[in-house]
Each structure stands twice: as C-alpha cells, then as structure tokens.
C-alpha cells in the first residue's frame, strides 16, 4: 500500500524531530549567558526535586510541647520577623503556613520587630494565629537610623548611580537600614538577650512541608550554627567593595579565619566568573537569608562583631547596597566551621524569588 506523498513527508519530519529531541536530551547541558557576561552550563541536578527523609540522629517529636507547659523540651529559641503594620495580611498568611506545617506542634514563641510601635490590630490578629506567646518589640533608634558617619550627599548620589545601573531597592533608604539591622543589629535587641536560636520568617512566605521534629533542638543537639534552604548569586553591582573590605579585615585579623573554612566557595570564580570579577574577588554566592535558622552566638562572637563594625564603618550598607545575605554568608564561610552549616530540606516559597 502506498501512502500519499504529504503523509510520507509528515512521517519523515516526525522521525527527524524524534531523533533531534533524543539528541538534545543526552547531549551536554546547554550554555547559558546572563547580563553580567557569565556563560555557564545549565544545572542538570536539583536536590530539591530528590526524595529526602529526615536528618539522621535523635529527633525530638511533638510530645509535651503544649504552649502552657512550663517543663516542655523547648529551648531558648524564637520565630523572628521584621515587619510593618501595613504588612499584617502577609504576616498572617506566613504565620498560618508555618503554624500549620510545624509550630502548632511545638509552640515556639513569635517575636515581631518594627521601627514604630505595633498597632493593637496587628497584635490582636497575629496572636489569634497561634497558641504560642507573641512578643512585640520596637527597634531602638540607634539600631535603625543611618549612623552619624555616613555622608548624606554621597549616599544620595550613590543611590542614584545604583538605580541607573538597575540595582533593585537602591533608592529606598528603609531597605538599606533593614540590611544593616539584619546584618549586625537585631541580635543586640534587649528582647533577645536570653534567646540563642532564631528562625527568620518574612511576610508573604509559604511553607509547604509538614515537619514533625523540633528543628531548634536538632540544631542544638547536632552543634549546627546555620540552617538554609537555597544558595543564590547576588547582583555584583550592589557589592563591589564588600570583598575588598573583607580582605582588609582579614589582613588585620588573620586569627579569625577558621581552619575548616569555606574560602573556596566564597571566592569561586568558575561558575560565575563575571560575578567574581565585578565583585572584585567574591563569588557573590550566598545563603538566601529570608529563610535562615541560626545560632546567635555566631553573630555575638568577637570575630563577627569586629567584622561587622569594620563593614559598618566602611559605609557600604548605604554607599552601596550590601545585603545581610552576603554579609552573613561571607562571615559563615570564613569564621565558622563549614561542617556546622546545615542544608534544611524544606519546601519554601518567597514571592520575589523568581
């Protein structure tokens, strides 16, 4: 039987297309370029899509964790959020997600921070979302305001230049203040004086996975300093002098460099060479700090306090757009034992992470 010529051509085309798609699926990953001039292979493996179980070791389950139990196994830890009164709806949504998936079992307290007093409506609505205690704190002005050594004219001109280069949030003074506060001020608040661990929770985030063990106890029992979910690359235009200032600090304080550091990760130039070049030696890879579970003893250490003070005096939180994520990440990579950094397998969504 002879098929009409159009059908034979269609069959031949389909066959060629199948071979082409097969070739594409087995060949080397494609090269991808970005606006900074990096050319790199596309990632072929995403650990977030692999089946993972709970971490090894003894895990504390939700027994005797009632909110009104004074003898519960809870440790001195808190869920922490920097939030405005106007972000109430987004905060409620984030609380509902985390309470549903985890905290209704363990009832850790919530601590909310704001640079102005919280409204009664904010307090009432957030407390309604949890059986745990909620604390509402105002940030001291000396922790939030632009420090006296910052030149206002230079700060304004720098913001204009960064904005022209497409750096997000460069012209928002509140964003610069927030980055500085999250980098080196929040753990100094008197309300956290007797608190060791925190879990940072942002408005509008989503948590999808049910977790049935006390993650704060896991961090403590396994001597973990920092828990994260994802690494990202920062905009190198926003941090051109962060690594040079870090090198100055290391030259003055070589004793702070941990023998089991992650210097190779901090200074990697293979995966994003253009990022490394524009950031003057820093890979720009950082832990996404919108989700971080950490031991504040690291930030309270002499090494980190001296490092933050050096950066603060350099002015990059305001003359550039240094974020708390790269600052925390560099400090972890240099001053901490890298074995104490823990990847948290947690399905997490943040609206601006696209």
Distance (Å, rounded) from C-alpha 3 to C-alpha 98? 62
Q: Which residue of the set 245, 292, 320, 336 is catalytic?
A: 292
50 is catalytic: no
Phi, psi of 140 (to 5 degrees): -60, 145
Pick the closest to residue 326 from 277, 268, 287, 276 (CA basis).
287
Distance (Å, rounded) from C-alpha 139 to C-alpha 142? 8
User: What's the full length of the chain, in residues?
Assistant: 354
- Contact present, 340 and 293 (Cβ < 8 Å): no
Tell me the H-state helices in the chain.
5-26, 88-98, 104-106, 120-127, 141-144, 152-164, 173-184, 215-221, 242-252, 263-266, 273-278, 296-299, 302-314, 316-319, 324-335
Q: Where are the beta strands (DSSP E) in 28-168?
A: 31-33, 39-41, 77-82, 110-114, 134-138
Structure-token pair, residue 342: 């823990």
The helix/strand/coil state of 350 is coil
Distance (Å, rounded) from C-alpha 318 to C-alpha 158? 8
Phi, psi of 52 (to 5 degrees): -135, 145
Write out the H or E segment, with its range, that includes residue 227. Answer: strand 226-228
The helix/strand/coil state of 112 is strand
Contacts made by residues 2-5, CB under 8 angstroms, sequence distance 24+: none
Beta strands 231-233 and 285-287: pairing type? antiparallel
Distance (Å, rounded) from C-alpha 97 to C-alpha 83? 17
Pick the closest to residue 183 from 352, 343, 332 (CA basis).
332
Catalytic positions, written as ranges: 292
């Amino acid at each position: 039987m002879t098929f009409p010529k159009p059908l034979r051509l269609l069959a031949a085309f389909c066959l060629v297309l199948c071979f082409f798609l097969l070739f594409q699926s087995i060949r080397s990953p494609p090269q991808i370029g970005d606006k900074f001039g990096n050319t790199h292979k596309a990632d072929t493996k995403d650990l977030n899509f692999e089946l993972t179980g709970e971490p090894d070791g003894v895990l504390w389950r939700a027994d005797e964790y009632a909110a009104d139990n004074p003898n519960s196994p809870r440790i001195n830890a808190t869920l922490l959020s920097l939030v405005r009164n106007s972000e109430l709806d987004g905060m409620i949504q984030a609380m509902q997600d985390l309470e549903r998936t985890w905290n209704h079992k363990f009832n850790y307290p919530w601590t909310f921070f704001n640079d102005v007093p919280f409204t009664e409506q904010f307090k009432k609505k957030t407390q309604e979302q949890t059986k745990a205690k909620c604390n509402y704190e105002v940030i001291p002005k000396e922790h939030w305001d632009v420090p006296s050594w910052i030149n206002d004219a230079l700060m304004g001109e720098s913001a204009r230049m960064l904005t022209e280069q497409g750096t997000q949030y460069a012209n928002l003074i509140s964003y610069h203040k927030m980055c500085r506060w999250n980098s080196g001020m929040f753990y100094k608040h008197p309300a956290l004086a007797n608190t060791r661990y925190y879990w940072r929770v942002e408005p509008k985030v989503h948590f999808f996975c049910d977790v049935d063990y006390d993650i704060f106890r896991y961090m403590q029992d396994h001597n973990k300093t920092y828990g994260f979910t994802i690494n990202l690359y920062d905009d190198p235009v926003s941090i051109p002098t962060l690594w040079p200032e870090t090198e100055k600090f290391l030259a003055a304080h070589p004793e702070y460099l941990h023998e089991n550091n992650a210097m190779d990760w901090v200074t990697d130039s293979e995966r994003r060479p253009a990022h490394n070049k524009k950031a003057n030696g820093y890979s720009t890879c950082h832990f996404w700090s919108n989700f971080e579970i950490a031991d504040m003893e690291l930030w309270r250490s002499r090494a980190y306090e001296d490092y933050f003070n050096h950066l603060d005096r350099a002015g990059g939180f305001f003359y550039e757009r240094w974020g708390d994520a790269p600052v925390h990440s560099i400090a972890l990579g240099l001053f901490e034992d890298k074995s104490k950094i823990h990847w948290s397998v947690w399905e997490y969504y943040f609206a601006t992470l696209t």
